[in-house]
Amino acid sequence: MSAAEGPLVVGVDSSTQSTKALVVDAATGRVVASGQAPHTVSSGACRESDPRQWWDALCEALHQCGDAAREAAAVSIGGQQHGLVTLDDQGVPIRPALLWNDVRSAPQARRLTEELGGAKFWAERTGLVLATSFTVTKWAWLTENEPEAARATRAVRLPHDYLTERLTGQGTTDRGDASGTGWWASGTEAYDEEILAHVELDPALLPRVVRPGEVAGTVRDRQDLPLSEGTLVAPGTGDNAAAALGLGLRPGMPVMSLGTSGTVYAVSRHRPTDPTGTVAGFADARGDWLPLACTLNCTLAVDRVAALLGLDREAVEPGSSVTLLPYLDGERTPSLPHASGLLHGLRHDTTPGQVLQAAYDGAAHSLLGALDLVLDEDADPSAPLLLIGGGARGTAWQQTVRRLSGRPVQIPEARELVALGAAAQAAGLLTGEDPAAVARRWNTAAGPVLDAVERDEATLARIAGVVSDAAPLLERGTDTQ
């Protein structure tokens, strides 16, 4: 390994399925070491993980980085958003974390929306219209279904907060991740006392919101952690905000992320308030905003369909009118928390490969439908759509998005953009730079551009028609209780 040109920093991506750590040269963006370790997640409607697994995975990933991790001058944690972590007075989890894709809080989302002024109130106050993903609904579920656990809670954290606190010993979060809770007011950029009182959550249990560019703390002396004591710890942020940093996004640049969940987003100077709930009005990690639309079913759902058909994920075939809505985990966009997958239009001559292509189309449809709502009116409609996440490397995903978007599609060569964004945030602590400017200096968005093709309006219209016609069935789902 050649000598680094600048100080080393660590960026972490603690995602739903695993934790990845990168040691990066702050001067050049070169990754000098990396590590990864898995988590386990429960299945079905109950999506939970033990936060202590995240810590163990972080330690393992950092150990895989070797001496480079010990030489790092700063570290930052990017993490999966919205998860509810409840801790006792010793900082030990009271129960497994309720993750972003746990849909049990759908009744609480509906009830809270009705009790506090409807969708317009929530959009204007928090930037969000409540869905099962958001943390406030999970806290409401906990207080109703596990009141003893709620009463025993002495600290409430998000996943990235939990890891940052174990590094520093201090309870902190950032504006980007806080904006996805449902109890942070986007207009005042502070915790919302009315909402907290309504859900009976003491604000003293919440972490301090650290400002962009502020040091969250320093690494404590921990024998199980291969970081030097006193290493600076950045605020960290949620995974989408970290990826936006990792791409060095400027306002109006559209992004589609294809992972366990699918997202479309862009940086905006304007605070978003969408009363339809399609666009979540998140803050970014810098001081701007990150309007975002999210689906629960993306690469894992399509891969599951491929497995059911006995096909490789790339074995798609064109030329069918079959429609597949892969809502295997319920869905957030459109808001159908109880929905299941739906297949329509089978014929004798329909091939397995055509059914698989329909799964790709169905997964991409909702994201692309929300893209125009995410972008500001003055955004360039011909700008390349940056395609990131695990799915972005797949030819079938690339061609599906290209055909259904009608845009040029750019595939950044840089991988692990959440961890790179966290590393850029850590580097910004050392250099005083805007983390997005750090990432632009690292040229992280560079990659091949696929030319635009004519948009497949017929397929888009067909899928929209099936979603509309099947709405009563999708809303009812398969729950017979």
Q: What is the pLDDT of residues 259-300, one digit of tens each?
A: 888 999 999 999 999 999 999 999 999 999 999 998 889 999
| Mean local confidence (pLDDT), 408-436 | 96
The per-residue pLDDT for 6 is 78
- The Cα–Cα gap between 455 and 220 comes to 54
Check if the beta carbon of residue 21 is closer than 8 Å to that of residue 12: yes
The per-residue pLDDT for 477 is 67
If 0-12 CB within 10 Å is exposed, 13-18 middle and 19+ buried, where does residue 304 land? middle
pTM: 0.89
Residue 2: pLDDT over 60: no
Residue 384: pLDDT over 70: yes
Given CA atoms 458, 464, 467, 470 in this order, what sign does their dihedral have? Answer: negative
The residue whose two tokens read 């992320």 is: 257
Looking at per-residue pLDDT, the higher value among 260 and 121 belongs to: 121
Q: Which amino acid is at 83?
A: G
| 178-216 confidence digits (pLDDT tens) | 999 999 999 999 999 999 999 999 999 999 999 999 999
The per-residue pLDDT for 13 is 97
| 139-184 confidence digits (pLDDT tens) | 999 999 999 999 999 999 999 999 999 999 999 999 999 999 999 9
| Mean local confidence (pLDDT), 54-60 | 96
- The Cα–Cα gap between 436 and 428 comes to 9
- The Cα–Cα gap between 389 and 379 comes to 23
Active site residues: 239
* Confidence label for 217 from pLDDT (cuts 50, 70 and 90): very high
| 222-244 confidence digits (pLDDT tens) | 778 899 999 999 999 999 999 99
* pLDDT averaged over every residue in the chain: 94
For 233-237, 333-337, 387-391, 443-447, which range has the lowest pLDDT when averaged over its residues? 333-337
